[in-house]
Amino acid sequence: MGAHETIAAMLEPAGITLNGSNPWDIRVIDDRFYARVFAEGTLGLGESYMDGWWECDQIDEMIARGLRADAAKRLPINANLIFLLASSWLTNRQNKSKAWQVADVHYDLGNDLFEATFDSRVTGSCGYWSGNPPAKNLDESQDAKLDLICRKIGVKKGQSVFDIGCGWGAFMGFAAEKYGAEVHGVTVSKEQVAYIKKRYANLPVHPELKDYRDATGTYDHVVSMGMFEHVGPKNYRTYFKTAHRLLKDDGLFLLHTIGSPYSTNSIDPWLDKYIFPNGVLPSLAQVGSAIEWLFVVEDLHNFGADYDKTLVAWNDKFESNWQALKGRYDERFRRMWRYYLLACAGGFRARAIQLWQFVLSKKGIPGGYMTVR
């Protein structure tokens, strides 16, 4: 069976037809697509889309269907995947020297890009659409998420909070504005630090360009949103020891992270190359092992389905702002960014990946933790 027939057979159980009429079907523009995907798997699929070799009206639904049907498992193991798996096992791809790579590839691309994609606070993690009342738009979903975090850890006026991987300061600004907290944080992105210092100059918000392992001080609470995916299994224990050291004995630590239903040491090769170099999604087993003798799990909340909505909303906003961006970013970048957002949306829609919020304490809350939703 040739590459064309193999890929057609691979997609058939997912209800995806090559050159079919459904919006989730793949329309092949360049016949080199077949050999490339056969030889390179998901990396070839993503790169061939960036190069304009195929189109699809609903990439998110195509990916969701493919994941639910385990379509990619029908392709042979390729050299790119073998190299990624081997390097993940044999080296620490998230050590201090390599931890800065994700800023170079992703977070320092340009604040204009992220402002054109994310909500008005530039919150680079999942919104909370399923609260009570449900959020009606992107800004509402992110404010609801930030407020949920503050309520889960019980932030009070005058308290100090540390944000591990503070992004563009959305939580820092929200907690300072709405709850009267003083917030410190670290990030490996110089663009994020510059953005925070300019936007929140009049608030008690203090970002530092620093690896999380070098953070100092003790705080009433610690939070971390969308950063743990960059830590890597070889460093999970160090990460939680750092959070434990930063947290006062009676404080709470909220960890907000994308999660995997199985333990692994790497992410999809296309995402690793183009979006999140050295990224890894943790499993519950890996988190559980890493927090032993350090933390008590007070609460675990899964709202991964909300990330599907968030990513679709991000893509809609990005496409609506493209005319203002295209002077700085070319068409191949546009296709890369679209593929990233919609492919990830498909992953959450298929429930192949999750979004977890853990509330952790050092020694357990006397009398028990009151669950917040």
Q: What is the pLDDT of residues 238-277, one digit of tens each?
A: 999 999 999 999 999 999 999 999 999 888 999 999 999 8
* CA dist., res. 260 & res. 202, Å (int): 39
Residue 188 · residue 103 · CB < 8 Å? yes
Q: CA 368, CA 267: separation in Å to the nearest integer?
A: 36
- CA-CA distance, 355 to 186, in Å (whole number)? 22
CA gap 297, 295 in Å, rounded:
6
For residues 87-104, give the mean pLDDT: 64
In percent, how much of the chain has pLDDT > 90?
Answer: 85
The Cα 70–Cα 268 span in angstroms is 14
Three-class SS of residue 315?
helix
Beta bridge partners of residue 105, listed in sequence order: none
| Beta carbons of 291 and 253 less than 8 angstroms apart | no
d(CA 123, CA 164): 14
CB 249 within 8 A of CB 191: no
Catalytically annotated residues: 344
CA atoms within 13 A on the CB side of 328: 10
Report whether 44 contacts 269 (CB < 8 A).
Answer: no
Please report which helix (H) or strand (E) contains residue 101, including its range.
helix 101-102
Cα 74 from Cα 198, distance rounded (Å): 50
Closest alpha carbon to 123 in 85, 161, 172: 172
Reading the block at residue 259, the tokens are 């999660």
Mean pLDDT computed over every residue of the chain:
93
Count of residues making up the chain: 373
CA 223 to chain centre: 15
Residues with Cβ < 8 Å from 105, sequence gap 6 or more?
274, 275, 276, 277
**10 or 363, which is more confident?**
363
Q: Please give the single-letter amino acid code of residue 64.
A: A
What is the model's pTM? 0.93
The answer to whether the CB of 181 falls within 8 A of the CB of 159 is yes
Domains of the chain: 3-89 (no CATH), 96-304+353-361 (3.40.50.150)
100-122 pLDDT, tens per residue? 575 666 676 889 999 999 999 99
Q: Express each pLDDT in 36-90 by its tens digit.
A: 998 898 999 999 999 999 999 999 999 999 999 998 777 766 556 455 444 555 5
Of 118, 112, 11, the closest CA to residue 62 belongs to 11
Rounded Cα distance between 77 and 225, Å, is 33
> How far from the centroid of its chain's Cα atoms is residue 333's Cα?
19
Q: 64-73, 131-140, 198-207: which range is least confident on average?
A: 64-73
